Structure 1
Amino acid sequence: MARVTRVMRLLDVLRGQEATTVSQLASTLGVSERTIHRDLATLREQGTPISSDTGPGGGVRLERERGVTAVHLAIEEVVALWLAASLSSSSTALPWGRAARSGLDKLFASVPRERARAMRALCERVVVGRPASSRVLAELGTPPGELLALFEEAFREQVCLAFDYADRHGNPSRRVVEPHGLLVEAPVWYVLALDVEKDAARMFRMDRIRRPRLVPGRRFTPDMEGLRARALAQRGERPGG
């Protein structure tokens, strides 16, 4: 974890608790107590009101009555909120669905224009469709545990993803793809990608992927519109038709 990210994560943890200890913070963030002491000092130097007490009931706490600085969200945290808001607004049975998207619009408006543009560009690569059909749910398997983290990194850092894949007939293959988009048909998700070797738009279901790994030496520029146009052309359709 980069130091700036870790310090901001520490501040978020402090915001979420009345009081905690240095050892608990170290365990939560997966770092040493010495690192926590150094990061707490950094936050204090920046003017964050943090107090430390000893003895029973003591610990580290954020002094809320003295004010708290604005929340700083990582881009992947914003995408997670975008996905949650999109899933909420896609279901008429859930209250406050529209309010979730409205809240995100306010978040985008509160950050510098370039950062907001980068956030929106990443969010717009996430597509929410209808919930998975009963047929898909009946045959759904379990994706490898490491897939989520690897996909998130490839998606965010714009690097290719390699994996073994079994199609709906069980035929195995090895793929190297550019993960341009994500399609969510809850609780199932698909990688919307350009198959590098086949030079074709493809969709890969999460549970059919095995042995995922990053290909950091192969980067790409996300292009959802181009991927969609390619997919339509492969089916003999015209864009917008």
Structure 2
Amino acid sequence: MRLTVAQLETFYWTVQLGSAQRAADHLKLAQPTVSLRLKELRDVLGEDLFERTNRGLSVTESGKALLPHITNILGELEEIRQKHSTQSLVGQIRVGLAEGFAVNCLPPLLEAMRIEHPHLKPEWNVSTSTTLEAAILEDRLDMAVILNPIGHEKMSLVPLGTQPTTWVVPKAWEIAEPITPRDMWLLPVVTNPAPSAMYRQVTGWFAADGLMPTQMSVCTSVSV
């Protein structure tokens, strides 16, 4: 029996996700196929890579020692694929964008995608981060740019950067900077509906001072 990339990839994702079933879901394989690949890898190497515990599947010391090597191998294979693949991305992709990101970044993103992936047909969905995160989990979106995600084991999160939050108020209010919760809690406040990231951020900001806005309204779009 020989060592295969499929065996290494299956081992890697089983370790990363914590179970053979989660690895199977990620790789879109049947769970018995994942178990068979792990058994083949164990037989090829002649070492136990996992052991059963009360908490489920646990990586052995041999498995832990093997993981960095497999990670490097898979990384190099991916680099080769990206550098030498001539196949362009084609077809439809469903992309979600948090509203604040879309307002600032959608135009240049459209232009970059037109140039770099002319055969890709994106379907854009602009909404709150919470709504987009739910759509990812329900397989209604392929990817999304969201703020302050709650996270889930079925999602892969890649940090892209930070986005500051700024209060926008009429000049007539004459509020001195820096603005504090006590400056705002008696004034009208508009934010996204619960349980959006913005709603959690705004209410958390007031709650840190033991306050809650007395005139808080919600709107699905704050860019209006």
TM-score normalised over the length of structure 1: 0.31
Q: Which has the larger radius of gyration?
A: 2
TM-score normalised over the length of structure 2: 0.33
User: Whose strand fraction is larger, Structure 1's or Structure 2's?
Assistant: 1
